[in-house]
Structure 1
Amino acid sequence: MTDQLWRRDPDSSTRETPRPYIRAFVPRGGLDAAITFYEELQGVEVDLRTPYPEKGLDIATVGAFLLVEGTEEVLEPFRATHGTLLVADLDVYEQRLVERGAEILDARIDVPTGSGLTARHPDGTIVEYVHHRPQPHER
């Protein structure tokens, strides 16, 4: 397990299209094995790994998957979210969501990678929207 954030692309501001992640929930102690599985499955390498101590989680992204490691109790509230979308501008997405009738469930908060919010779409789909921003050690 790593004790600090590292990632290949620390700033999503220049993304021309959003990057969707399928969420995979991993029991505590299983993140390394999950990373290896998803790397081998997709033929790509892990490109983000970070602890999220405020929530009791460890997180990694491998290709199309967001791996979320924690105890069953810690993971439970996160299981209702269907996916994560990495976006260039969180303000734009928040405005679009509200204008189109989505409900903001969790207002914008700072997360280890930048900032994010969670919204329920009119069809009931719950999505976390995240804007990655470089941290001081990544500049």
Structure 2
Amino acid sequence: MPTVPAAALPDRWFRTTPDSALLPGPRLLARSLIDVSVIDERIRSYERLTGIPADLRMPIPDFGGLELAAVGNMLLIASARPFTEIQRRTAYSVIVPSLDGALSRLDQVGATVLESPERILPGARARVRFPDGAIAELVEHRPNPGEQPRPPELRGSGHPGVRLLLRKAVSRSMFAPLVRLYETALGLDCDTRLQVEALGGIELATVGNLLVVGTDSPESTRASDVRLALVTSAPEDIPFTVPLGPPAGHRLVQLEDGSVAEVWDSAVGFHDTPAAPARGTAGTDVA
């Protein structure tokens, strides 16, 4: 892989974990493509929603003036120019402890490498297509010379207790195979696995930060393009959101940035936080 020229880090650059080799496993992130002029506003929006401070911000001038920020499980990708087709089609960003290890694991499940590994300012990256068709950008973080971890600082009052997850809905027949696929692809064991009889037997599973929903209900599958889920103990009282449907186990709300999320009551049996350790072999819109 080519060497990235040495460059002084911008003043806005910070990472709580500059070396992703220290992560217990892959960090799966949802992606929000935005104009660079609104990145500060979007950071504050997700901090207010989740009560979690931004733990990463990276201006990357080498890739067309991109600037990235991560708040919890959301990666904000800001640009002053239009996004490319492949950037818009990419469903996930994944910060991995080892890029070689992640690619080796994905090869075992039949993933396709769309963009070969290359060196970048944060570390290294590649883009792949999972067997279910989802495209992901994998990024390995490594510290730059002199870079130190920076603890996150919450700039405003948040709302603790709202957990933001990535969401993927499939038919009941595809539910178990998809859970197994992401367990292998991410090297993580399923954390939550349950069936909600009150909602027609909808099946739910979390693999890391991904919520897999198995349902044959037209009401649920019509929202197949909803990529986010909010899990909370107070599903009818989530600040900074606009309800889009009647209160239920999986109603929809609109977030401040216009994204739509499915809401789940944690009382149905969700674990509070992902507990599964990494297993197996230990973008640009870089994460």
Secondary structure of the 2:46 match is: helix
Q: What is the one-letter code of the residue matched to 1:45?
A: P
Partner of 1:39: 47
CA distance in 2, matches of 1:60, 1:7: 9
The unaligned stretches of length 5 or more in structure 2 are 1-8, 149-287
Whether 1:80 aligns to 2:89 is yes
CA distance in 1, matches of 2:18, 2:81: 29
CA distance in 2, matches of 1:27, 1:105: 25
CA distance in 2, matches of 1:75, 1:25: 11
Q: What TM-score do you get using the length of structure 1 for normalisation?
A: 0.90
In the TM superposition, residue 53 of structure 1 has moved relative to its aligned partner by 1.3
Q: Is the 8 A contact 1:28 1:71 kept in 2?
A: yes
1:19-30 aligned within 5 A = 19-30=27-38
Q: Which moved more, 1:47-56 or 1:116-125?
A: 47-56
Q: What is the one-letter code of the residue matched to 1:94?
A: L
Q: What is the one-letter code of the residue matched to 2:98?
A: D
**Greater strand fraction, Structure 1 or Structure 2:** 1
Whether 1:59 aligns to 2:34 is no
Q: Is the 8 A contact 1:84 1:129 kept in 2?
A: yes
Q: Identify which of 3, 11, 14 aligns with 2:10.
A: 3
Q: What TM-score do you get using the length of structure 2 for normalisation?
A: 0.46
CA distance in 1, matches of 2:58, 2:96: 18
Whether 1:111 aligns to 2:113 is no
Q: Identify which of 91, 96, 99 aligns with 2:105.
A: 96
CA deviations 1:73-95 (Å, max 9, x no partner) are 23544111101111111111111
Whether 1:13 aligns to 2:6 is no
Q: What is the one-letter code of the residue matched to 1:3?
A: P
- Over the aligned positions, Cα root-mean-square deviation in angstroms equals 1.7
Q: What is the one-letter code of the residue matched to 1:116?
A: R
The unaligned stretches of length 5 or more in structure 1 are none
Q: Which moved more, 1:127-136 or 1:90-99?
A: 90-99
Q: What is the one-letter code of the residue matched to 1:21?
A: L
Whether 1:120 aligns to 2:129 is yes
Aligned length: 138
Secondary structure of the 2:83 match is: helix
CA gap of 1:77–1:126, structure 2 versus 1, over 3 A, is: closer
Q: Considering only CA atoms, is the larger Rg found in Structure 1 or Structure 2?
A: 2
